[in-house]
Chains A and B, each alone.
Chain A
Amino acid sequence: MSYRIPGRGRIDRAQPIRFTFDGHDVEGFRGDTVASALLAQGNHLMGRSFKYHRPRGPVAAGSEEPNALIGTRRGKGQFEPNTRATMQELRKGLETTSQNKYPSLKFDVGAVNDAAYMLFSAGFYYKTFMWPRNFWHKVYEPFIRAAAGLGVSPTEEDPDVYASRNMHCDVLIVGAGPSGLAAARQAAGKGLKVVLVDEHSEAGGTLLSEPQAKIDGVAAWDWLSSTLAELEAAGVKVMTRTTAIGYYHENFIGMVERLTDHLDEVPQDTPRERMWRVRAKQVVLAQGALEKPLVFHGNDRPGVMLAGSAQTFLNRFGVLVGKRPVVLTSHDSAWYAAFDLAGAGAQVQAIVDTRAEVRADLLDQAKALNIPVKLSHTATATSGRLRVSSLRVNKVSGSTVSAGSEIKCDAVLMSGGWTPSLHLFSHTKGKLAWDDDLTTFLPSDTPEDCVIAGAGRGLWGIEAALADGAAQAQAALDALGQAGDAASYAVDEDRPGTGVMHKELPTDKQPGRAKAFVDYQNDVTAKDLRLAVKEGMRSIEHVKRYTTNGMATDQGKMSNINGLNIAADALGKKQPQVGLTTFRPPYTPTTFGAFAGYHRGSHFEVTRKTQIDAWAEENGAVYEPVGQWRRARYFPKSGEDMDAAVKRECAATRSSVGIFDASTLGKIEVVGPDAAEFVNRMYTNPFLKLAPGKCRYGLLCGDDGFIRDDGVIGRISDDRFHVTTTTGGAARVLNMMEDYLQTEWPDLDVWLTSVTEQWSTIALNGPNAAKLLQPLVPDLVLTEENFPHMSCAEVDVAGIPARLWRVSFTGEIGFEVNVPAPLGRQLWETLWEAGQQYDICAYGTETMHVLRAEKGYIIVGQDTDGTVTPFDAGMGWAVGKKKADFVGMRGMARPDLVAKGRRQLVGLLTEDGSKLEEGAQIVLDPNQPIPMKMVGFVTSSYDQGTVGQPIALALVEGGQDRMGETVYIPMPDRTIAAKIVSTIFVDPENNRLKIGAAA
């Protein structure tokens, strides 16, 4: 049986569209939503509720819908749960499924919960399931979890892409109903960038549901299309299917545009959704108002819906939601729904109004249409299993509710009046003010540059909305220095109205047992709210959390005001004394993918690669992630594992020469008349007297006196330092430097520039390093006398202008060549060629780690952990004793930092020659019971090196005074004994650093 009314609606009847619902084929038209197409078949049953698994159909026609949530699917990986059937447009091949039911939507065993309704009241879970104690985890919780949840999660990877974009505009208007459209007209044509957005598939808002209205003599829908054309011509950007999801600081608005969910076929490379990050000078919120349900026993049966939504289904989609509807209302607006439906052929069974008096013109029109009217009536029950079949209504006089009578029907259209949509306004931390006349909250002050127009300010009717849209937009324009007069509008057949507000409707039954729903989706009833108050929940936030009212996926759009009214009544307070809960972004549930945008998969974060990275890849490097960088970890030859490769790389470097890509090191150029003073204050070492052409190892501490970073610092000229940092520390160190420069020492004349990406840095290490390099550096004699260890120079290397450093992180003769980044690979290949005669070996970070550990050089973050002072690390030599000040000087003088027994860095050699595990804990007495007294831990441990046995570094309490002592490392399967030794395992005299010394 079809409920589609010829000649009504905006659907395109020339374009029928097939889709499936729970496996059955359904036909609708282009322009339909899933809900309207199903309703057109007479199908109201679309889902089951959260807790009681009660059968449910749509109560609304828009994004506030709490009941008709369905699974939607396009193809592999393209499934999403909890889609609102009222917002999902039809497209060819769309697969939809109902949710939260087993085995079927019509017969759901979960509905046994409904029978135990009185048991599952507010706070139920907190009061039980506590015995026996271990049952919670194994029995009760899994049971509760399985019963809850609505749809099912996707289980496959999402093949779609998502986009994001930034936008700046002068005026952003949210909501393209009459007030939004009038606002856009007001702002258009003034040379401003104006953007108008609406979450629906087309602009128009209320106009789409009220075709009868005539605006300045033009039929609403004609006015709409000409206005849109006019706006477009004036350069206004009108965006449909776009939801403003959140209003953030400083007029920053997040908006999500849905680009493909309505398309039959998705064009190649079209993103599914796009996040717009908008910074608007002025915002006009024209989001309209939401209709409130009435709260009475059985108000959730499929077929019971909001009157305004029934009107929308008729006028926008050409669907009659019932052929014999009853209207139940406390507001004038629902009368028009009755008239519209009657006009489309429905036999309206009655208009039941809770009020004693109603406007005469409404009564007259009802009479003319032969609709029975019952004033001063309440509704006390509905019946029908999967669809409402009757409404029980009772006369009310004073506080007496008379006996009820049944009205047979196939739909109940209810209206409890309207409440402004203030969600985005609330995101601004805007204040709400209670209006006693309208019995609703209205917007008051906001810290943002934002105005509210139309129904959002409690103004009902199209004429008022248009006028206010123009006026509020003009106010925003005034603020932009665009003075002018607000346009005026005349509307015929407008439908302004008033109404009264209710808590629950009066009833003749025991209210404590009524299933009068407030939050449909979460199955919260008036009884639950009252029980919460009885149990001492006085704050509306407590009521919300105790009952879950307003926490469903409509975020309280349906339930907040009714919940407030009931809670306020139970508390014996007025609504403003109770207040509303806070609305949180997003306005409607928003796809994760839209937030992630482009940042997915390999683009989750950029992978930073050096200029030499490609060479490493061609040469079979295995990588490791270090911060955002990927670094070559080792270069295996065929058949080699990491250990074998690292062993080979270590040996080759110590015996001849190794080449290493050090480009990821952080680099900061410190320049200015006070550069030396600045570096001297930041680092623990003295830098004032460092001569140009020299470099020095620098230790950076926090103000707490603990090591934060390290690196070699070269003085290029009097006023210029080239500072290097650890790879992971680059950004942190620059931040720290800027922080000190800007807040502590603004008097210093210094500039800091990150130059990490400007230089490629190649390290050459090994006894043959100088020999290899010398022919390529004709302008500099690389001898011990002329260019000693810790020198630096600006010189050509292989014809490339370079900053050449003589430094070593391996204990071998070492150079670091810095060249302009793009020339890095060229230099690398030149060195590689030149090195062939020395069997040059490329090594990665792992070999670098081993070689430096053999020399006792620390890696910040591995051998230190934020609790290690320079002295703990055995690097007291790096702290300038005569310096007036440096960062961390006072921190490291604190009692505990100079106390005895601190953990100090030492070397460890195991007695049995086994390799220790990094992170393993050290004890003095291996036989003590747990918890053991731990005196330290292994920071670094390697057995691929050149020492002939595995070595380790460790932090051990009082370690520097324990040389030669044995400590123990209890492992799960055995205890390892190790001797404390010096941290320097190779060449303590530093002979190998010298050019010309015997290797």
Chain B
Amino acid sequence: MTRFNAFALLKNALNGHKGWTEQWPDSQPKKEYDVIIVGAGGHGLGAAYYLAKQHGITNVAVIDKGWLGGGNTGRNTTIIRSNYLYDESARLFDHAVDLWENLSQELNYNVMYSRRGVLMLAHNVHDVQSFTRHIHANRLNGVDNRWLTPQECKDYCPPLNISANARYPVMGGALQERAGTARHDAVAWGYARGAAERGVDIIQNCAVTAIRRNADGSVAGVETAKGFIKAKKVAVSAAGHTSTVMQTADVRLPLESYPLQALVSEPVKPIFPCVVMSNAVHAYISQSDKGELVIGSGTDQYTSYSQRGGLPLIEHTVAAITEVFPIFNRMRMLRKWGGIVDVTPDRSAIISKTPVQGLYVNCGWGTGGFKATPGAAHTFAWTVAKDEPHPINAPFTMERFRTGRLIDEAAAAAVAH
């Protein structure tokens, strides 16, 4: 595999790009693997990479029903931050951010991790209370996050409207400077290339139709569109379709799948320096390196596997954006799309062993798992390799819904009085 560097680029520019090689081969399934990973999103590909790189397990296949990175990994708005409330989450996401900061070099693939800062706006007293709570908790957890006054918010993000006459005036914001965005496709491709280089088979256009179990209940392998493939261990990372895949192994998961939509504007010159999130008015926005405003919408009100999503939600999202950033009213929407996200009752993920021996699951990332990609993949690989969780993902069990030991990040955005 050709290493990427300035010299290779120059050389190839001169020789008509003859020297570049495949970033990953078009693998066909072998009869048997040590580990099969279902789902070639960032999480699945990343897990394969770390299995090979850190645990020396290279007889691995990543199987996807479509093209790699075509799920939520290639559909998300790429907001990365770690200023979560609970210790467990802060640790997991901060671990991810640590890995993000070196990921381009680690993978020899520019994933364009852009530390441009994520600013979360407060629009009511409840927001202020909640953000203050986050900021204090983050400080004592060693996670950066600080309070900005409305004027400081405006200085940080000039297009922001901080008028006191706004429908929901900005009362301040919580800023995490270490947070930012990354290029989603590059994350999938970089991990795929890194994994393939170490011998992992990436098998695309091959749906896993069932997980097969041995007589003793342990995992036997997977049924796929290309036939049965034996495996010692199966690790599922199938986002919105995880619950249906796991059901075939008789593992019921507390997941609901919803369409989540996003959109981009036509590209313009740099106007928006950071990422802004506003939970109260439901607006999430940044500007891509290409110049498009990247805007996150909400989940539809009903569960569904259709990646279409409806118009009303988009109308509301755009209204929210122009409410907070009125100068964008004459910008135009270029494209909108949806992805299917898997939501747990406490809005935290599951990275866990399962009651089935040899079966592991990494899911429940809902609307916010891109940011966790390296951290989740890394700890998931550990869990699969050692058949026990890494200390960082140990709290993210399936069991917690039975015991009630939740990590309720949804609680942070709880009911208003």
Contacts and interface: CB of A to CB of B under 8 A. Distances in A.
Q: Do A and B bind each other?
A: yes
Contacts of A603: 167
Interface in A44-67: 50
Contacts of A972: 139
B226 interface: no
Given A512-B17, A553-B266, A704-B404, A127 B140 contact: no
Contacts of A116: 13
B70 interface: yes
A932 B290 contact: no
Nearest to A83: B332
Contact of A866 (B10, B22, B168, B411): B411
Residue from the set A597, A601, A708, A895 with the largest chain B CB neighbour count within 10 Å: A601
Interface in B283-323: 287, 289-291, 306, 308, 310-311, 314-316, 318-323
A154 B330 contact: yes
Contacts of A727: 416-417
Contact of A589 (B18, B269, B333, B412): B333
A577 to B, nearest CB: 11
B109 interface: yes
Residue from the set A133, A157, A160, A591 with the largest chain B CB neighbour count within 10 Å: A157
Nearest to B281: A604
A708 B415 contact: yes
B11 to A, nearest CB: 11
Given A590-B332, A709-B415, A937-B136, A931 B404 contact: no
A4 interface: no
A534 B22 contact: yes
Contacts of A160: 329-330
Interface stretch (A118-126, A294-302, A794-802, A956-964): A118-126
B315 A589 contact: no
Contacts of B337: 582, 584
Interface in B242-294: 265-271, 281, 287, 289-291
Nearest to B415: A861
Nearest to B295: A592
B142 A930 contact: yes
B112 A534 contact: no
B9 A128 contact: yes
Nearest to A156: B327
B142 A604 contact: no
A425 to B, nearest CB: 14
B135 interface: yes
Nearest to A132: B105
Interface in B117-148: 123-126, 129-137, 139-142
A361 to B, nearest CB: 43
Given A146-B269, A148-B290, A118 B110 contact: no
Contacts of B24: 536
B332 A254 contact: no
Given A599-B319, A704-B345, A921 B330 contact: no
Interface in B85-110: 87, 91, 102, 104-105, 108-110
Contact of A151 (B23, B102, B113, B268): B268
A829 interface: no
Interface string B384-415: 00000000000000001011111010111011
Contacts of B412: 865
Interface in A127-157: 127-131, 133, 136-137, 141-142, 144-146, 148-157
A704 B410 CA distance: 13
A931 B141 contact: yes
A595 B414 contact: no
Contacts of A149: 267-270, 290-291
Interface string B316-359: 10111111001111111111110000000100000000000000
Contact of B316 (A542, A599, A896): A599
Nearest to A531: B17
Contacts of B322: 592-593, 596, 600
A82 B23 contact: no
Interface string A494-531: 00000000000000001011000000000000010001
Contacts of B13: 116, 118-119, 121
A511 to B, nearest CB: 9
Contacts of B331: 80-81, 153-154, 591-592
Given A126-B110, A867-B411, A141 B289 contact: yes
Interface string A242-256: 000010110010100
Given A531-B17, A896-B403, A937-B133, A158 B326 contact: yes
A592 B167 CA distance: 18
B234 to A, nearest CB: 24
Nearest to A971: B136
A255 to B, nearest CB: 11
B128 to A, nearest CB: 8
Contact of A895 (B167, B308, B403): B403
A127 B415 contact: no
Nearest to A554: B334
B310 A934 contact: no
Interface string B52-84: 000000000000001111100010000000000
A891 interface: yes
Interface string A702-731: 001100110000000000000000111100
B345 A597 contact: no
A50 B268 CA distance: 10
Interface residues of A, number: 126
Contacts of A732: 415
A589 B332 CA distance: 5
Contacts of A673: none
Contacts of A601: 166-167, 323, 326
A555 interface: yes
Residue from the set A585, A602, A897 with the largest chain B CB neighbour count within 10 Å: A585
B215 interface: no
A131 B8 CA distance: 14
B214 interface: no
Nearest to B269: A149
A533 B77 CA distance: 26
A915 interface: no
A137 B273 CA distance: 11
A921 B140 contact: yes
Contacts of A157: 326-327, 329
B151 interface: no
A643 interface: no
A155 B327 contact: yes
Interface in A809-867: 859-862, 864-867
Contacts of B16: 118, 510, 512-513
A453 interface: no
B26 interface: yes
B110 A129 contact: yes
A919 B130 CA distance: 7
B315 A596 contact: yes
Contacts of B104: 130, 133, 136
A921 B271 contact: no
A917 interface: yes
A403 B326 CA distance: 58
18 contacts: A127-B9, A128-B9, A130-B110, A133-B104, A137-B115, A145-B270, A149-B268, A154-B331, A249-B308, A534-B17, A539-B204, A585-B335, A589-B266, A593-B329, A704-B345, A866-B408, A919-B129, A937-B137
Interface of B: 4-6, 8-10, 12-14, 16-18, 20-26, 66-70, 74, 87, 91, 102, 104-105, 108-110, 112-116, 123-126, 129-137, 139-142, 159, 165-168, 183, 185-186, 189-190, 204, 265-271, 281, 287, 289-291, 306, 308, 310-311, 314-316, 318-323, 326-337, 345, 400, 402-406, 408, 410-412, 414-417
Q: Which 7 A-B pairs have the closest CB atoms?
A: A149-B291, A919-B133, A728-B416, A919-B132, A866-B411, A539-B67, A894-B404
Given A427-B308, A586-B334, A625-B123, 4 more contacts: A584-B337, A600-B329, A729-B415, A860-B417
